Amino acid sequence: MEPAKKIDHSHDEKTAKPKKNPKKPKKFLRKSTKEGLSGYLFMSPTIFTIGVFVIIPILYALYLSFNDVQLLGGIGYEFIGLDNYTRTIDDERALIALKNTAEYVLIVVPVQTCLALLLAAALNSNIRGKNAFRIIFFLPTVTSSAVLTIIFMWMYNPDGLINNFLQFLSLPTYNWLADPNIALKSIMIMNIWATAPFFMVIYLAAMQDISDSVYEAATIDGANWWQKFIYITIPILKPVTFFVVVMGVIGTFQLFDQSYIFSGGSGGPNNSTLTIVLLIYQYAFKSLDMGYASALAVVLAIIIMVVTLIQKKFFGEEKLHD
Amino acid sequence: MKKRIFSKPFIYGVLILYAIITFIPFLWAILSSFKPLEEIVSGITFFPESFTFDNYAQIFSREPLFLRWMFNSLFITACMVFLNIIFNSMAGYALARIKFAGRKFWFFLILVVLMIPFQVTLIPSYLILKAFGWLNTYQGLIIPGMVNATFIFMMRQFFLNFPKELEEAAQMDGLSRIGTFFKIVMPLAKPALAAQAVFIFMSSWNDFMRPLIIMSDEEMFTLTLGLNTFKGQYISFWNLIMAASTLMTIPSLLIYAFFNRYFIKGVTFTGGK
């Protein structure tokens, strides 16, 4: 978390300077004009791209969300006020998508965070082959979600690898893909497996920054590994954990690829893998109901931005404490 | 480092078990890609009994577009990496080093953009691309993604700590800002550029949702979309699907094998921000 502090300070200092000298001699003015020009020259690709494909779209999305949008031939708008927003309340599929997404977030985030923390702790103990383990653990992170989903779908087949293994252990087998009570859990297992290592790397980097002297004092007092982990490591890592949880919430709220590939775009079986983003996609690009889809997207964006802002606020408070 | 004691064999056991759990899906996919269909259908053999390369040949004969999809993915990804490296660095450099009016505002805007989930811009961006006539084109995927707020931010941090003396010397020698940037600054920024490059490569190569929306013409599909279509068409031919999945993953694995320290750097940067 260190860099975040430095950033804000340096930013304040640097940006305060140029405004001080409005009445400098002409030579300086010429130089500052030149600086201004090269500044905008360097920024121009960014300003263009962010302007056309982020800022305008945000305003456009808000506009769309207040309209009934017709896409036949050209594009037609009819202002309908908040109707798109109130419509979500009676939309059964929106409620199902919200429920699925919430369930997904509430299970995946805690599990992947704990797993990441434990793996990082294990890797951070004095062992050989730390790098080899880290390289292997990180593999799912570099593989595309499409490939991972397809590999898991095959392992989840009724007579696939996983059921065979469970049978071998005399455990009950499941219809991982087609049972509406199981399908979302199949995606959860896959994604915990795929994302925990990413957060593990973040935890590991933070753990390596903890000074040894902290632990030495505890060792003298006779604390064992587990006590040190619970009473020293976890409290010190609190800001990192907060970051990992927030990142996890943001990521899980945006679940799409896996649900789409898993269900062939339908969110099935029986809407059990329907997520908010998949629903937005279906409304926008299958039913061509872009006004309503935009309203849903705006709601999603607000949820995610609130989560992000809460994170920023907590980080701000953490800063005051040190 | 005296914080172990929790019996070393136990920790090794946990790590090795998790390494196996991580590795098995990949191993299973690769092994299956070398099995003939009979072996796939007839049940479970973990290692292929009759080893064959035929599945890889069959992908291309059954799906003539597969090569095209590979080309599309490679071309789009190469352009994305190239443009992002240049444009993100330029913006990061300007925000860190050039004193221009409105710098504070643009930096603030970058921070705001970082918070915005891309789903909210998806539908309007689609309509804008449609108005430009850019649906089903390479530029439709490349241009909207040619800068990235995260990496602009990263490059700004990088250039804030960059030694000033070199640039000043270059400017004394009469080099312009642009000359200094491309001839002096960029070559010295290689580690940061490499970290950027691997991440842009991964996100572009693996992207699913943006191509899904922008490319509806099968000829313009990227490999991720193509793979999904291929899976749909050959749903019980898991040997072929696994061969195709393996092919798609090889470039990522190669890049990861050669540049893995930059991945770790990139992730810890994301974590530290």
Interatomic CA distance for residues A158 and A177, integer angstroms: 8
Domain extent for A93? 87-321
Q: For residues B20-36, b (16+ Cβ closer than 10 Å) or e, as one string?
A: eebebbbebbbbbbbbb
Domain membership of residue A11 (yes or no) is: no
Residues A57 and A186 in one domain: no
Residues A151 and A203 in one domain: yes
Number of domains present in the structure of chain A: 2
Domain end position, chosen among A36, A56, A83: A83
DSSP secondary structure, B82-118, as one string: HHHHHHHHHHHHHHHH---TTHHHHHHHHHHHHHS-T
Domains and CATH numbers, chain B: 8-52 (no CATH), 64-236+244-272 (1.10.3720.10)
**The pLDDT value given to residue A101:** 95
Identify all chain B residues contacting A309, using CB atoms and an 8 Å cutoff. Answer: 115
Tokens at B158, concatenated: 């990088």
**The pLDDT value given to residue A9:** 43
Identify all chain A residues contacting B231, using CB atoms and an 8 Å cutoff. Answer: 150, 153, 261
SS3 A69: strand
Average pLDDT of the residues of chain B? 90
Domain membership of residue A113 (yes or no) is: yes
Domain membership of residue A92 (yes or no) is: yes
Residues A72 and A138 in one domain: no
Identify all chain A residues contacting B241, using CB atoms and an 8 Å cutoff. Answer: 150, 154
Residue in A50, A261, A262 to test binding to B, most B beta-carbons within 10 Å = A50
Would the pTM of this model clear 0.90, i.e. be above it?
A: no
Asked whether the beta carbons of residue A45 and residue B87 sit closer than 8 angstroms, the reply is yes
Interface size between A and B, measured as CB pairs under 8 A:
302
Least CB-CB distance to A127: which of B8, B22, B263? B8
Query: Residue B271 pLDDT > 60, yes or no?
Result: no
One-letter identity of residue A130: K
Token look-up 């945006």 returns A254
**The pLDDT value given to residue A2:** 39
Q: What is the ipTM for the molecules in this complex?
A: 0.91
Residues A29 and A157 in one domain: no
Domain end position, chosen among A83, A98, A129: A83
Residues A139 and A74 in one domain: no
Residues A79 and A108 in one domain: no
Domain end position, chosen among A83, A103, A135: A83
One-letter identity of residue A39: G
Q: Stretch B34-54: mean pLDDT, rounded?
A: 86
Residues A210 and A179 in one domain: yes
The domain that holds A199 is classified in CATH as: 1.10.3720.10
SS3 A79: strand
Please list the ranges in chain A whose pLDDT falls under 70: 1-29, 315-322
The backbone torsions φ and ψ at residue A270, rounded to the nearest 5 degrees and listed phi first, read: 50, 45
SS3 B136: coil
**The pLDDT value given to residue A33:** 83
Residues A55 and A185 in one domain: no
Domain membership of residue A7 (yes or no) is: no
Lowest mean pLDDT of A7-21, B83-97, B127-141, name the range.
A7-21
B176-224 confidence digits (pLDDT tens): 888 889 988 999 898 889 989 999 999 999 999 999 999 999 999 999 9
Residues A119 and A26 in one domain: no
Residue in A144, A237, A249, A319 to test binding to B, most B beta-carbons within 10 Å = A144
Residues A207 and A91 in one domain: yes
Domain membership of residue A4 (yes or no) is: no
Residues A248 and A160 in one domain: yes
Q: Stretch B103-123: mean pLDDT, rounded?
A: 92
Residues A66 and A215 in one domain: no
Chain B, residues 125-164, CB within 8 A of chain A, namely: 125-128, 143-144, 146-147, 149, 152, 157, 160
- The answer to whether A157 and B244 are in contact (CB under 8 A) is no
Least CB-CB distance to B98: which of A1, A38, A127? A38
